[in-house]
Amino acid sequence: MSDSAHATNGSASAVGATADDESEAANAAENDDETASAADAGEYTFDDLSVVMGAYNEEEAIATVLEDIERVTDGKAEVVCVDGSSDRTAEIAREHGARVIEQEPQGYGVAVREAVLTPDRPVVVTTDCDDTYPMDALPEFLAEINDGADVVSGDRLYHGAEAMPAFNRFGNHAFAAVASLLMGERVHDTTTGMRAYRSEVVEEIGWTENTGLSAELLIRPLMRGYDVRERPIRYAERLGETKLDPIGGGVAIAKSIVTVCLEEQLRRF
């Protein structure tokens, strides 16, 4: 921030402001300072961020998720919700200022592909709409992007993922092991729903998977040499019912991992 802006705040508080006003003005100036200096340094701020999600009958959870995003980003992040619900989810999302795109329910990946490709902002973070992912990690994810990462992937298994059903936890360890073998690079959580992406990365790659889209969104950028980083995140128990069938979904994800890894290996020749 420029010196003249400091002078303006200083003189405003000198003209009979209360102590509270002064500290608020100081805080506002400090926040502006942070925003301005981040922008000066060419860094992204929450004004450059879209948080996107697919939502299918998540009326129990969506308000909490959107309130957390609002609180953590000071209301600056844009929220895009691709919604196929028959309950009050879309209405609650609109009440909270989210941009809602209506879509017939066609599976996780169809919704999330639309969600990641919709924003015009340069950084996109995906999340589920079920209150399992920690929106408090948004500042850290943005910092990693500013540090040069193209994709930042939340690793739920690092802390044990106690809140995840045991079958899913076992499956997710297995998916990560198989994907690591096929890619020749160790990854720890291929099916996480919380990641940050530079928008140009998601726009440059053609996406083919539905239930396996989360794995694809990790594997293709990694195998094309983008800077992909995993960061541990906490994973909480879900509000409302899961929308994915663990067995059918698990088979679909396994197929996606094998297909996408082989396609990317072939691309190298």
Smallest separation, CB 51 to ligand GDP (Å): 12
Please identify, using beta-carbon distances, which residue of 44 and 108 lies nearer to Mg ion.
108
Q: Name which of Mg ion, ligand GDP, none residue 201 binds, using a CB cut-off of 5 to 8 Å depending on partner kind.
A: none
List 60, 68, 78, 130, residue binding Mg ion (CB under 5 A): 130
Calculate the alpha carbon distances from 166 to 109, 163, 170 in Å: 23, 9, 6
Rounded to whole angstroms, how far apart are CA atoms 178 and 16?
67
From 60, 70, 128, 264, residue interacting with Mg ion (rule: CB under 5 A):
128
Phi, psi of 96 (to 5 degrees): -95, 10
Buried b (16+ CB within 10 A) or exposed e, 27-46: eebeeeeebeebeeeeebbb
Question: Based on CB atoms, which residue is closest to Mg ion, 130 or 144?
Answer: 130
DSSP H helical ranges for the chain: 3-14, 19-40, 62-72, 89-95, 108-117, 138-146, 166-183, 199-204, 213-223, 246-267
Binding mask 171-210 for ligand GDP (x = CB under 6 A): ----------------------x-----------------
Q: Which residue, 107 or 134, is less far from ligand GDP as judged by CB?
A: 107
For the bound state, the minimum distance from the C-beta of residue 194 to ligand GDP, rounded and expressed in Å, comes to 10
Site of interaction with ligand GDP (CB under 6 A)? 53-56, 58, 82-84, 103, 105-108, 111, 128-130, 193, 242-244
